[in-house]
Amino acid sequence: MRNIVALGTVALLFLAGPTTSFPPQASAGSGQPPYRYRLRTVVLDAGHGGKDRGCAGVKAREADVALKIILALGRQIEENMPEVKVVYTRKTDVFVELADRAGIANKNNADLFISVHCNASSPAANGTEVWTMGPHKTDANLSVAKRENAVILQEDNYQERYNGFDPTSPQSHILFSLYQSAHIVNSIRFAQKVDRQFRTTVNRPSRGVKQAGFLVLWKSTMPSVLIESGFLTNRQEELYLNDKANQSYMASGIYRAFRDYKNELEANSGE
């Protein structure tokens, strides 16, 4: 556990820096035009893939459903916002390690990181969830984070790469969940917009916006969300999520949230 505590010190030092929601503006009388923020790059992440199939229903697999939603979302952004660069962590059925997913976002200086997944629980469980990095307040939140983080067990040298983090240990998650992101305000802002779209325009049952310690979000250095699109262990939700039209509806809801989030940030910049 020493490595995790040491890592937490580094994280806390990072978080001691500025946590403003918007980029700095030129000072009055400086002769410089005000800085106008533009959301230029978004990284889209389809959870799991390759040897990691994720959770499963009778026919559908999480890796496949997540990829189809992400590709549909990417197409909508590319068609309607040519000024935005869209980067994918994967566009095919391949395995990408968690640190590499966040690394792609960091390397591209992304303004937003969106990761799409499917959920698993009892056959009666249903609804969408939108997650941001933060402390898990319930055992249920911890369970979701543990399931998604467990993918690192399929990676080589995961203990060294993740500084001793053990996805099977509640103690690791308790420490890890304390690492607040400097981008938490905008992460929650975007998450709320996604959740609102799911509830009001896509007509999906919602389980709300939640927080927990997800490795893939913690490693990214920009506002980030993880979207659980529904429960493949619920037969009705599996049928819904495995349908191409419904995958497009889900992507459309995320796209509208992205559009509104982008417009809001850019409108408030440079005022």
What whole-number distance in Å separates Cα of residue 120 and Cα of residue 230?
8
Residue range 168-182: average pLDDT?
52
Q: What is the mean pLDDT of the chain?
A: 80
**Mean of the pLDDT values across residues 87-114?**
94
CA atoms within 13 A on the CB side of 190: 29
Mean pLDDT of 49-61: 96
∠260-232-46 over CA atoms, to 5°? Answer: 50
Residues 154-168 have a mean pLDDT of 59
- What CATH topology corresponds to 37-267? Aminopeptidase (3.40.630)
268: tokens are 């408030």
Q: What does the pLDDT average to over 121-149?
A: 73
Give the pLDDT band (50/70/90) at residue 34. Answer: low
Any idea which of 36-45, 81-90, 101-110, 148-157 has the lowest mean pLDDT?
148-157
Q: pLDDT exceeding 70 applies to what percent of the chain?
A: 69
**pLDDT score, position 205:** 97
**CA angle at 173 for the pair 62 and 160, rounded to the nearest 5°:** 85
For residues 56 and 232, is the Cβ–Cβ distance under 8 A? yes
pLDDT range class, residue 145, cuts 50, 70, 90:
low
Q: Is the pLDDT of residue 8 over 80?
A: no
39 compared with 99, residue with greater pLDDT? 39
9-35 mean pLDDT: 41
More confident residue, 88 or 1: 88
Higher pLDDT pick, 67 / 29? 67
Do residues 114 and 43 make contact, with C-beta atoms less than 8 angstroms apart? yes
Spatial distance between the Cα atoms of 266 and 103, rounded to a whole number of angstroms: 25
Q: pLDDT tens-digit profile of 212-246?
A: 877 778 778 889 999 999 999 999 999 999 999 99
**For the residues 30-52, what does the mean pLDDT come to?**
85
Query: What pLDDT does 22 receive?
Result: 42
- Residue 270 is predicted with a pLDDT of 58
Take residue 175 and report the two structure tokens written for it: 């420490």
- Chain centroid to CA 13: 23
Q: What is the pLDDT of residue 160?
A: 56
Tokens of 12: 């806390």
Q: Please report which residue ranges of 81-183 form alpha helices under DSSP H.
A: 98-107, 139-149, 158-161, 170-176
Residue 101: which pLDDT band, with cuts at 50, 70 and 90? Answer: very high
Is residue 85 over pLDDT 60?
yes
Per-residue model confidence (pLDDT) at position 79: 98
